[in-house]
A and B are shown apart, each in its own frame.
Chain A
Amino acid sequence: MTERLKPETPEQVLEAVQWGLAEGHTYEVTGQGSKRGYGAPPAATHGLDLTGLSGIQLYEPGELVMSAGCATPLADIAAALNEHRQRLAFEPPNLGPLLASGTMGGGSIGGLFACNLAGPRRIQAGAARDHLLGFHGVSGLGEQFKSGGRVVKNVTGFDLCKLMAGSFGTLAVLTDVTFKVLPMPEKTRTVLVLGLSDDDAVVALTRALHGAYDVSGAVHLPADIAAESGVSYVVDAGCSVTAIRIEGPGPSVDVRCRALRDDLAGFGDTEELHSSNSHSLWREVRDVDFFIGDDKQVWRLSVAPADGPAVARAIQGEIGGRVFYDWGGGLIWLAIKERPDADHQSVRAVVDAAGGHATLIRASEPVRAAVPVFHPQAPALAAITQRVKESFDPKGLFNPGRMG
């Protein structure tokens, strides 16, 4: 990469894009850089560093809405929300330490939406994209445009917010984003069920999710993973731990926890974590702490929850590896021994058969360049994906190759 541009305003972003168009340059677009290692390595001639576009522009606690420059650090946003006891309900993970790339501080708000990342609370609060209300951006045609606004409902044309979320910066450069924020709950508790097999755990989690408990986290840690938790109750259990989070006003949390423990008593022994232990455990799960710091390749598998254990078993039977389950069994984190092809064919054959998706989250740059990081699409879908890309960025200016 020969040069890095660092615009300070949306107008300078526009100029940079127009200059790139005129000169035939391409850009690797970055915010705080915490997720540079996520996706295929882009083959860009220049860098477009957006850290100059930082800062909260609007925060209306009463209206539950915030706008911020795209590179505003998540830590700043969390701090501002914390003052009003509010938060981003989809529980953004900090993948910096897992990916061991760029900064470790949790990345930027624009990068978060561009990668559509959500944590364990996704099962209750929805994905990041469900919270993105509007944005301003610059397309690869060199045009400034905006979409959405400050309202939660609109039905006026194509939903460009949803298209930006999960596009990994390949359609347009976001210059600012407007998003929903929500009140923090008064109380958080976690019900633990001990010693369940993966299959029984998913049955128990499904039961919890179907009940009137309003569950905001449903995870299963097999014994080898639970043993690495920093939460003493989880480690000391000495067996697998299935965890279910309940949040809300005090009295109703107590009642729901009690009822849930009664309901799940037939599965195994139950325990209850209070606030600070709960927070520690869910942060570990959110940031995939269990796989940080080793040299394993990490996959993220999305399947229908009921298929989770069978998918994990089939893959482990073939290539080994360690797993844990989030989203009631629908999300499997898989760590495998490093291999030049990340065993993508074996992994994807199993996931394909279950109608799911597999994303290679962590692998060295050469591996990510050689192996499709994102799940390959059926030909008809790939064709319209290509057309959508061309309608925003016909010259392939932004993050070329990052999505494969």
Chain B
Amino acid sequence: MGCIDENLLAELAAIVGDRLTTGQSVREQHGQDLSYHQGHAPDVVVYPKSTDEVSGIVKVCAAGRVPVIPYGAGTSLEGHLAALRGGVSIDLGQMNEIVSVNIDDMDATVQAGVTRQQLNRNLHNTGLFFSVDPGADATLGGMAATRASGTNAVRYGTMRENVLALTVVLADGRIVHTGSRARKSSSGYDLTRLMVGSEGTLGVITQVTVRLHGIPESTLAAVVSFPALDQAVKTVIETIQHGVPIARIELLDQVQMAAVNSYSGLDYPEQPTLFMEFQGTPTAVREQTEIVGEISTANNGSDFRWAEHQEDRDKLWQARHDAAYAALALRPGAKAWFTDVCVPISGLIDCITETRRDIDASGLIAPIVGHVGDGNFHLTLLIDPDDAGELKKACSINERMVLRAINMSGTCSGEHGIGYGKIEFMEAEHGEGVNVMADIKKALDPLNIMNPGKIINI
């Protein structure tokens, strides 16, 4: 066993009792996320039930200088939870209590292991919902730690805008409560948002207070195809410029559309296609749909389909929901390398077009799906991980896309984060800013035990 001895195990057991395992398969599962990145098993997995237990575990780890890696649902995509230097994986799955729902103030406080779908099921009949919807049913703790977002960020924001307060166990085991249910905190630096997106490198998030939103009275979904990518993106830019508060606006490229047609037996034109959703009062929704309909038509959009009833909307959006499976079905047996970048929307056409050119030249299959309202798009590279040549080609496509995005004043990831998968690009994106982050890391985690080797190398 790496850095853990029998004494340390006994100290951990004194805190969590039998909620601890060193079994190989559980350890391996806790060191591997949903990505192609090489997993690294921790030495032990513990399952605390309270913030105090987490605090006790971290104190033991600090005394033994043992790495601590928080684990939620294991759905990250850049190797965030790989125990690169061994250590203790803290699985927060058993901290899954919904602490309070405040309907009047439209917020909810949950333990870190509550998943987003669990929270939304619990909100049933309150007229409220939690908006952030990454593909996976991730935990709120994990979503806060990775600053997760989803398809409706353009309207409701990401975790950055939706986390109001946190309880965090720091590297020395101290417990802090950042932020409050008050909408505005003027009591010092914004430590809540320093923790949001810190990927477990500054502390373990054990409790999260999030903002809730009212379920819209009326929702309308629409799908429209375009002969060329630039016309689709122009439609998005004009829609946003017009101030239409569109809830979702997603782009699927021609390769992805071919994939969903074949996977789901649909007959969409195999062209760049926008999937949209409008929300609000029935009048507002009709108004928004009309405006966007006009903008689409002016940009050569065709085959405009829309649906109002839940069932019809689901059918219409099926293609979008099935995108990941449809992509995988393009090459059975392949492994998916998910990657994403975000660029200023004026650079989106060039960035996607040049990336598509690289993919086509490489001979690999890689559909593109974008949350285009934010300038964010995703690539699913379908590769045989045992084929060194393919891996190399995929690496090169990814690297060129990332550097292209950074050169356009964009970012090497709009959603998935850094983990250890994109750590090599931090310097290119932030320059001296990396040193500033390293100083913060050293100040808050002087022993470098909190998820070491992620975001920045110390």
Contacts and interface: CB of A to CB of B under 8 A. Distances in A.
B400 to A, nearest CB: 18
Contacts of A171: 189
Interface string A214-255: 100000000000000000000000000000000011011001
A191 interface: no
A378 interface: yes
23 contacts: A64-B241, A145-B431, A151-B342, A151-B409, A153-B153, A155-B417, A156-B425, A156-B426, A167-B189, A183-B243, A248-B245, A252-B281, A252-B283, A259-B281, A302-B182, A302-B184, A304-B102, A357-B184, A359-B187, A378-B177, A384-B191, A392-B439, A392-B440
A156 B243 contact: no
A187 to B, nearest CB: 11
A355 B182 contact: yes
B414 interface: yes
CB-based closest 9 A-B pairs: A183-B243, A162-B193, A154-B411, A391-B443, A302-B182, A145-B432, A375-B187, A153-B414, A212-B217
Given A152-B374, A157-B426, A159-B160, A249 B287 contact: yes
Q: Mostly helix, strand, loop or mixed at chain A's interface?
A: mixed
Contact of B412 (A145, A156, A185, A300): A156
A403 interface: yes
Interface of A: 60-65, 116, 122-123, 126-127, 129-130, 139, 141, 143-147, 149-160, 162-163, 165-167, 171, 182-185, 206, 209-214, 248-249, 251-252, 255-256, 259, 300, 302-306, 327, 330-331, 355-357, 359, 374-378, 380-385, 387-392, 403
Contacts of A155: 146-147, 197, 411, 413-418
Nearest to B411: A154
B136 interface: no
Contacts of A251: 283, 287
Contact of A160 (B187, B281, B437): B437
Contact of B415 (A126, A144, A153): A153
Contacts of B104: 206, 305-306
Contacts of B218: 212
Contacts of B106: 209-210
A157 to B, nearest CB: 5
B262 interface: no
Contact of A150 (B344, B435, B455): B344
A158 B245 CA distance: 29
Given A153-B374, A156-B425, A306-B104, 18 more contacts: A63-B237, A130-B161, A151-B342, A151-B343, A151-B374, A153-B342, A157-B430, A248-B243, A249-B284, A304-B105, A305-B104, A331-B184, A355-B181, A375-B187, A381-B176, A382-B188, A385-B188, A388-B191
